[in-house]
Amino acid sequence: MSARTALALLINGVLLAHKIASSQDRAGGPCEGVEPALRSAAEALDRGEWADAERRLQPLSASHGDCVGVVLGLARLRVARGEPEEAERLFARATTLAPDDAVAQALFAQYWLSRGEPARAEDLTARALSLGPDCPEALVVKGRLLTMKGEIRGARDALERAAHLDPASAEAQYRLGIWFFGLRLHAEAAARFETAATLRPVDALALDYLALSREALGEADEAEAAYRSALKVNEGPFFDSFLDYNYGRFLLKQGRLEESRSHLDRAVALMPEHRGVHYERAKLKMALSDFKAAREDAERALGLRSPGNLVLDVQVYYLLSNVYARLGERELAQKYAELSRTTPIPDSN
């Protein structure tokens, strides 16, 4: 799951338009009278109803083109439509229109972090917090940046503060869930992911993490319900390429082989260079007694790296020893059996 780095993640929490509008919503100001319409657009974006959001935002673009809330709403929409360059232009315009608005600075920081530019994100986050020390959006970005630096305690403090300041922030809840999940505090993580998914029902990523957390807690029925909910909304900016892999692996553990097959086949199609999907499908093929197909997937898994040690070399060696044994290739079976006994397991720390 840690390998998920889609640009779409920057959408999380980007449009709190009524907050931006309120800073300019004064008599004769650029956002005068626009707050109700912006709130409706924000709700459409939160529901993933992009066409409805665009229908609401475009007239505002013409009538209130200098309103920061409108500009940020359009930026979020452009991200959802897969137009990052236009989104960047709009974020930059928002910070130019309101250079002293902490939220605008923080949302631009989110953008740069999701584009793989942490230095730019850090500069903008520092500016946002200098303008508004209690800006939840900036605190979320700060928490993510501190996590990347390994400053775990500080990251938690920032994320918990953001969630406290803005309990309705799905992004703060989601990121706090990630923090707990990374430390295998699955009960705490599940509570945060459930809240995030309630606040943002179209978020397949939060639902997938919720399922993984429930699974780790031994709550199989709850995990399956979360997986199925995630599958129903797995499209658009919150698309989760790992979902079929995780659900297919879950079904395989339950012995539901045919159900598992369709999801693992899709996972291989989505992530052909990922070791885990080939490894799990090889296990499935073994369970189906399709040993030649199991060999193909297992050998493919052996030739791929596994970021984060998701599937260890020793696991692939053990699987290959069983595959070759079932195919009657004794020398290869013995070779990989020996490797599975002698290969050290990496330090999890």
Residue 16: is its pLDDT beyond 90?
no
**Domain boundary residue, one of 38, 65, 98:** 98
The per-residue pLDDT for range 243-292, each reduced to its tens digit, is 999 999 999 999 999 999 999 999 999 999 999 999 999 999 999 999 99
Structure confidence at residue 28 (pLDDT)? 53
Structure confidence at residue 130 (pLDDT)? 98
In a domain, 287, yes or no: yes
Answer with the residue of higher pLDDT: 28 or 6.
28
**Domain boundary residue, one of 56, 73, 98:** 98
Residue 161: is its pLDDT beyond 90?
yes
Percent of the chain with pLDDT over 70: 90
Residue 310: is its pLDDT beyond 90?
no
In a domain, 204, yes or no: no
Structure confidence at residue 184 (pLDDT)? 97
Q: How many distinct structural domains can be found in the chain?
A: 2
Confidence of residue 29 (pLDDT cuts 50, 70, 90): confident
DSSP 129-189: HHH-TT-HHHHHHHHHHHHHTT-HHHHHHHHHHHHHH-TT-HHHHHHHHHHHHHTT-HHHH
Structure confidence at residue 9 (pLDDT)? 39
In a domain, 136, yes or no: no
Answer with the residue of higher pLDDT: 39 or 296.
296
Q: Average the pLDDT over each of 85-89, 288-292, 304-308, 330-334 and give the range with the smallest value.
A: 304-308
Q: Average the pLDDT over each of 235-239, 249-253, 287-291, 321-325 and give the range with the smallest value.
A: 235-239
Q: Which residues of 270-306 are buried (b: 16+ CB within 10 A; e: fewer)?
A: bbeebbbbbbbbbbbbbeeeebebbbbbbebbbebeb
Residue 215: is its pLDDT beyond 90?
yes
Q: pTM above 0.85? A: yes
**Domain boundary residue, one of 78, 98, 118:** 98
In a domain, 203, yes or no: no
Structure confidence at residue 349 (pLDDT)? 54
Structure confidence at residue 319 (pLDDT)? 98
Q: What is the CATH number of the domain that holds 327?
A: 1.25.40.10
In a domain, 45, yes or no: yes
Residue 20: is its pLDDT beyond 60?
no
Spell out the residues 6+ positions from residue 333 whose beta carbon is closer than 8 angstroms to its own.
321, 322, 324, 325
Percent of the chain with pLDDT over 90: 77
Residue 14: is its pLDDT beyond 50?
no
CA 6 to mean position of chain CA atoms:
7
Instruction: Report the chain's mean pLDDT, rounded to a whole number.
Output: 90
In a domain, 50, yes or no: yes
Question: Region 63-84: what's the mean pLDDT?
Answer: 90
Residue 300: domain span: 264-342
